[in-house]
Structure 1
Amino acid sequence: MNTRPMRNILCVRLDAFGDVLMTEPALRAISRSMPECRLTLLTSPAGAKAAEMIPCLHDILVYEAPWMKHSAEITDSARHLDFIRHLHALQFDAAVIFTVYSQNPLPAAMMCYLAGIPRRIAFCRENPYQLLTDWLPEKEPQSLQRHEVERQLALVAEIGATVQEDAIQIAIAEADRQTGETIWQSLAQQEECRIIVHPGATAPSRRYPAERFIAAMKSIRARMPATFIITGNRSEQALADEIAAMAGPACISLAGQLDAREWAALIDSADLVLSNNTGAAHLAAATATPAVVLYALTNPQHTPWRTASQVLSYDVPCKHCYKSLCPQGHHNCLLGISAEEVANAALALLAARFQHQSASNTRFLSHTAG
């Protein structure tokens, strides 16, 4: 194993919002174990929104890598060459390349090699030869399966970075907390449960049907006072507005109206998150908010980490397909979940939450009485 000292470390995580959140414990492990080092995260535009809430980072570099799924079409390679020169000028002495096991780290390793970064660390399935100085042979999923958080902690452990508290931790500014609380107080009566519903996902294969979200919300509302806020990005605004209109008067859409920090604060003030397997589920984990997750079985390692949760899916022989579109065309891993199952899971988590709330918190007394 390479023993070159590391003072200026580039961490590479080019995936989406939730992936960066699940990398936070590993980033914090590096920061705590090597307090003298400067930590920079290289990530996607979506990932940067999550990175802004990770306190251990000193800097964030945004890059749309041409080997990633949602990158813009390449019409001119010059900007990529310019970016490698920029990395070279920053004089990093190590690069830690975080990937899921279905990704190849070698394009990022090549970029770091060309940028003159002398130490390059990653899991890799094939022999990387000189592209990686610290090669950890890829063992997933054939030999083991582990949560994404555990995978990234295992990677940094190889360079001596560990952390005792492995829950996802983010920083929410007090002003954002107050904004979130003000929004809830303006919408929900004191005795009502506060529920965030996030019906979107970047991959169609991970989207539970809108009509079932609506049916589940109505079922919850019929059995417990509740107010729902629908969240999503601008591209999901029509979906969120449709659900808000059909779910009843105790529901409002804020899709496209919140930045990432406001979204996190709103979830932090909620009693429950009801979501597909997407960034909202990982924000719930980061804020210790209970979550019901409609979990398409496209891949196994992205369930909510270290928070009370009910992960709902329907077992199918074609699970773990790693596809953005259902290759069978039936979406049974989600369509096999009834709206009533979703409502029951939500009510069970809410009941457990209220039982553990302090008796001095009057907002929960009506749910815990008797």
Structure 2
Amino acid sequence: MDLCIIMIFRGPEEPFSPLLTGGTAGETGRPLSMFESSRIDSILVRAPNWIGDAVMSLPAVGAIGGLFPGAALAVLAKPWVRDVYGGDDAAATEVLTYEAPGRHGGAGGLVRLAAELRARRFDLAVLLQNAFEAALIAAAAGIPQRVGFDVQLRGPLLTTPVRLTRELLDGHHVDYYMAVAEALGAARPERPRPVIRLGADELDRADRILSREGIDASVPFVAMAPGASYGPAKRWHPLRFARAATALGRSLGAPVVVFGGPGDMDTARKVEEGTGTTVFNLAGRLQLREFMAVAARSALFLTNDSGPMHIAAALGVPTVAVFGSTDPKRTGPLGAHTAVVSSPPPCSPCFERTCRYGHYDCLDAVSTESVVEAALGLAERAAGRRR
């Protein structure tokens, strides 16, 4: 089985031309540039529900904000992704929390949420989340213009349904979300890619966290995120992460910091216990913006295909990702310093959470040596470009 190491550098591409259906835009095939920005004072963007998808939607949110520069732009997001859209220079002027489970859960919660949104009198809803429920809430909230992909039988609830083409499905998710912004009339950047910028106060907070943990903030460290909430078909073995941590820590003379959410704590502990070098385990101990700020201090980030992968790449940290059941052409990290290591068998990509055959060959075939080689090469190239 051949090993595949993919270096991802985004080049210029031809813009997508998604077909529009329904309403005036669908009848003429025109994008929604017919919306006069002076008539759009308030926009609601429904965010995706996964951290990685939220990061990949950032270029689209920025494009929407740029198209309507005088409008207030609120993002409606689940609690675990809301902080992706924060920050001093974020396109969103406000982030609203969709508390489900919680006060917005169930039929009564949907009615409550729709009433809250109706009181805000939004002029335009842009649905980057594809559930029928997203369109139902926007319509129930009385938002007059509702734009999103025509999926999940929700077309009648949209004033401008956007056709989901095979080209979009097979392309990168950044372009997938950008297509909705383009349907509004937004210009497509030559190289759309997510960027996360942190404020000075957030970076100061990161230094205090590192100091609290006994980590010298002036010394670059190797970061690792061995989890992936999607499922085991995206998780490289923790003992291989541990061996890679040992090799990279010794080669670079750097400590290793392990990250993860509450659900990754057992995996992170296995990495910590199996590593033969200085390692600090912060899994389950940081809020999302704290993780971003601490990760931004790292010299190298080793990860699975996961939310932390997209965050690290968007921060500009050299990022090496191990791919198993998923496709880097669709969800690979985008950035100046990114690499993907994979060894796909004939059944990959299958996009399954667990292996239907029970063997996980797509992950087992990725050796520690190949990942370490890719990581050291990327770290060297990144250091050379910084000189």
Q: TM-score range, shorter-chain basis? A: 0.7 to 0.9
**1:149 — aligned with what?**
174
**1:338 — aligned with what?**
367
Q: Matches of 1:259 and 1:189 in 2, distance apart? A: 19
**2:21 — aligned with what?**
none
SS at 1:167's partner residue?
coil
Q: Matches of 1:189 and 1:38 in 2, distance apart? A: 38
Aligned length: 347
**2:263 — aligned with what?**
235
**1:98 — aligned with what?**
128
Establish whether residue 88 from structure 1 lines up as the match of residue 118 from structure 2: yes
The partner residue of 2:244 within 213, 216, 220 is 216
Q: Structure 1 residues 251 and 82 mapped into 2: Cα distance closer, same or farther (>3 Å)?
A: same
Aligned counterparts, 1:49-198, within 5 A: 49-53=83-87, 55-63=90-98, 76-99=106-129, 104-125=130-151, 128-140=154-166, 145-162=170-187, 164=189, 166-181=192-207, 186-188=214-216, 193-198=220-225
Matched to 1:18, the amino acid is: G
**1:12 — aligned with what?**
46
Q: Matches of 1:33 and 1:163 in 2, distance apart? A: 11
The partner residue of 1:276 within 292, 296, 304 is 304
Following superposition, the deviation at residue 193 of structure 1 comes to 4.6
Following superposition, the deviation at residue 240 of structure 1 comes to 1.5
SS at 2:255's partner residue?
strand
Structure 1 contact 207–276 (Cα < 8 Å) conserved: yes
Q: Matches of 1:299 and 1:19 in 2, distance apart? A: 14
Percent identity reads 26
Matched to 1:201, the amino acid is: A
Structure 2: give runs of 5+ residues left out of the alignment: 1-24, 26-31
Residues 15-52 of structure 1: CA distance to partner in whole angstroms, max 9, x if unpaired? 12221111111111111221111111111111112122
Q: Matches of 1:189 and 1:55 in 2, distance apart? A: 26
Structure 2 contact 226–260 (Cα < 8 Å) conserved: yes
Structure 1 contact 18–50 (Cα < 8 Å) conserved: no
TM-score by length of 2: 0.82
SS at 1:45's partner residue?
coil
SS at 1:187's partner residue?
coil
Establish whether residue 312 from structure 1 lines up as the match of residue 341 from structure 2: yes
Matched to 2:290, the amino acid is: E
Matched to 1:77, the amino acid is: A
User: Comparing both chains, which one has the higher relative contact order based on Cα–Cα distances under 8 Å and sequence gaps of 6 or more?
Assistant: 2
**2:14 — aligned with what?**
none
The partner residue of 1:258 within 279, 286, 295 is 286
Structure 1: give runs of 5+ residues left out of the alignment: 66-70, 359-370
SS at 2:135's partner residue?
helix
SS at 1:88's partner residue?
helix
**Pairwise CA RMSD of aligned residues?**
2.6
**1:48 — aligned with what?**
82
Q: Structure 1 residues 106 and 126 mapped into 2: Cα distance closer, same or farther (>3 Å)?
A: closer
Following superposition, the deviation at residue 293 of structure 1 comes to 0.5
